[in-house]
């Protein structure tokens, strides 16, 4: 089997202690919570941290905030959380991985690309790539920027809900809107500094929310498209997309268009068209990229129709292959 590289494992007893270790060790240290993304990546030598700082069990969240250490399985069980987030969490990987994987981990998930998510020997055979150990982006050889895809399911759901996150380092704490956590860059995809710990997520109240995930199968697969939509308590509708860029993002054009409108079929079609024009999938993940782009509009229709109150259970069952 593929083996992990050697590393030192630290298990601090508080967030403050973890932050001190991060500050002292510098960028050669990495955080580990569930490890469901990091450990396979370490086996493929995507990351080879000298020190792993375990924050498992430390990030429980205070007050109304959801702890970043909450497992994805717990998210699905907490009925007071918005539907869109729970649908997103429910569709991550498999039950075993959801039992280990955390909300914070899913938000910080490494970007993915099938020129990158391969083991060392495979990557050597293509002379590596821009994201790791090489110089060329094989997806778009003229590109100066890595186009690896953001593959988090929870982020688009939380973006639509208007969530914010708290980042804690040895010296400071800061809270930022979730959309500001991400860069559209497959390598430098997070604005989180290496010494910061994402500790909790604040989710404003919403009257309705939903998440539609496109993937080949009913389990295991990362999204090749995620469409999230939420109606805030003031009635404003927000759409967010996942897996069609190096970051999850709010679709501003569509959201501006939807402002103050009633979800008639015509309004939904126009919003879907606007979303479709913003999806820029690349040939670096599963399924045909033009088809994936086409489907971003159709999935937007699903999401908005569901918000409107249409019965989407049959479509949901067909797409997700499970009731959600």
Partner 1 sequence: MKVLGKPRRRVDGRAKVTGQTRFADDVVLPRMLHLRLLRSPHPHALIEEIRTEKASAHPGVHLVLTGKDFPVSFGILPVTQDEYPLAPEHVRYVGDPVAAVIAKDEQTAGEALELIEVKYRALKTISDPLEALQNPEPRIHAYSELGNIHRLQAFEFGDVDEALGKAHLVFEDMFFYEGNTHLAIEQHAAVAAVDPDGKLTLWSSTQVPHYVHRSLARVLQLPASHIRVIATPNGGGFGGKCDVCNHEMVAAKAALRLGRPVKVCLNREEVFYMHRGRHPVLMKLRTGVTREGKLTGMHLQTLVDGGGYGSYGVASTFYTGALQTVTYELPRYKFEAARVFTNKPPCGPKRGHGTPQPRFGQEVQLDKIAEKLGKDPAELRLGMVAKPDSLTANWLKIGSIGLAECIRQVVERSSWKSRYRKSGFGKGLGLACGAYLCGAGLPIYWNKMPQSGVQILVDRSGQVTVFCGATEIGQGSDDVLAAIVAEVLGIDPFTIRCVTGDTGITPVDLGSYSSRVTVMMGNAAIQAAQKIKDQIALAAAEQLEVAPDRLIFSNGKVFFESKTVTFAEAAGFAEEKFGTLGAVGSYKPPRAPGRFKGAGVGPSPAYSYTACVVEAEVDPATGWISVPKIWIAHDIGRTINPVLARGQVEGSVYMGLSEALMEEQVFRRLPPKLSDALVHKIPSLLEYKSLTSLDMPEVDTVLIEDPDPNCPFGAKEVGQGPLLPVMPAVANAIYDAVGVRIDELPITPDKVLKALELKAQGKEGRVGPVSFPRVPYPEPVEVAPPWEGGDGNAKKGAEKPKLKASAA
The contact set with partner 1 (CB under 8 A) reads 1-3, 114-115, 117-119, 121-122, 124-127, 136, 138, 141, 216-221, 286-288, 290-291, 294-295, 298, 318-319, 321-322
Distance between CA 134 and CA 94 in Å, rounded? 32
User: How many residues are listed for the chain in this entry?
Assistant: 324
Secondary element (H or E) of residue 30: strand 29-32
Tell me whether residue 72 or residue 165 sits nearer to partner 1 (CB atom): 72
Residue 76 C-beta: closest distance to partner 1, Å: 16
User: Which residue lies nearer to partner 1 by CB, 127 or 188?
Assistant: 127
The answer to whether 177 and 185 have CB atoms below 8 angstroms apart is: no
Angle at 195 between CA 159 and CA 97, to 5 degrees: 55
What is the helix (H) or strand (E) element at residue 86, kind and residue range? helix 83-90
Shortest Å distance, C-beta 260 to partner 1: 28
The Cα–Cα gap between 160 and 12 comes to 34
Measured between alpha carbons, how far is 278 from 299 in angstroms, rounded to an integer?
A: 13
Compare residues 24 and 220 and give the one whose CB is closer to partner 1: 220
In the bound state with partner 1, the residue whose beta carbon lies nearer, of 196 and 298, is: 298
Place of tokens 């995809």: 189
User: DSSP state, 26?
Assistant: G
Nearer CB in complex with partner 1: 77/216: 216
Residue 313: CB minimum distance to partner 1, A: 14
Nearer to partner 1, 117 or 209 (CB): 117
CB of 117 to partner 1, least distance (A): 7
Residue 153 CB, nearest approach to partner 1 (Å): 15
Identify which of residues 99 and 290 has a Cβ nearer to partner 1 in the complex. Answer: 290
Rg of the chain over all Cα atoms, to the nearest angstrom: 19
- Contact residues for 81 (Cβ-Cβ < 8 A; gap 6+): 66, 75, 203
Q: How far is the CB of 122 from partner 1 (least distance, A)?
A: 6
Residue with tokens 């997103």: 88
| Alpha-carbon distance values, 276 to 163, 225, 227, 244, 251 (Å) | 24, 11, 11, 10, 10
CB of 244 to partner 1, least distance (A): 15
- What are the residues facing 165 on neighbouring strands? 176, 201
CB of 98 to partner 1, least distance (A): 14
Distance CA 97, CA 99 (A): 5
Give 12 or 134: the residue with its C-beta nearer to partner 1.
Answer: 134
């Amino acid at each position: 089997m593929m083996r992990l590289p050697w590393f030192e494992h630290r298990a601090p007893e508080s967030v403050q202690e973890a932050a001190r270790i991060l500050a002292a060790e510098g960028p050669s240290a990495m955080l580990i919570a569930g490890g469901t993304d990091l450990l396979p990546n370490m086996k493929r030598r995507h990351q080879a941290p000298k020190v792993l700082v375990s924050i498992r069990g430390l990030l429980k969240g205070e007050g109304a905030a959801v702890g970043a250490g909450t497992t994805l399985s717990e998210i699905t069980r907490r009925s007071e959380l918005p539907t869109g987030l729970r649908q997103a969490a429910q569709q991550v990987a498999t039950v075993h991985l959801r039992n280990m994987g955390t909300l914070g981990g899913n938000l910080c998930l490494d970007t993915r690309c099938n020129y990158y998510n391969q083991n060392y020997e495979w990557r050597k055979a293509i002379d590596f790539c821009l994201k790791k150990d090489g110089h060329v982006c094989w997806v778009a050889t003229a590109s100066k920027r890595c186009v690896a895809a953001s593959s988090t399911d929870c982020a688009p759901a939380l973006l639509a809900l208007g969530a914010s996150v708290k980042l804690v380092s040895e010296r400071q704490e800061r809270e930022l809107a979730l959309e500001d956590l991400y860069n559209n860059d497959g390598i430098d995809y997070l604005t989180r500094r290496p010494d910061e710990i994402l500790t909790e997520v604040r989710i404003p109240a919403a009257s309705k929310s939903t998440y539609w995930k496109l993937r080949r199968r009913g389990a295991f697969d990362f999204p090749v498209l995620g469409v999230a939509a939420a109606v805030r308590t003031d009635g404003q509708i927000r759409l967010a997309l996942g897996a069609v860029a190096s970051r999850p993002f709010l679709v501003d054009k569509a959201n501006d268009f939807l402002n103050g409108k009633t979800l008639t079929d015509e309004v939904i079609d126009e919003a879907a068209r606007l979303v479709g024009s913003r999806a820029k999938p690349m040939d670096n993940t599963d399924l045909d990229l033009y088809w994936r782009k086409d489907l971003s509009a159709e999935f937007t229709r699903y999401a908005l129709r569901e918000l409107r109150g249409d019965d989407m259970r049959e479509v949901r069952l067909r797409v997700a292959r499970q009731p959600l």
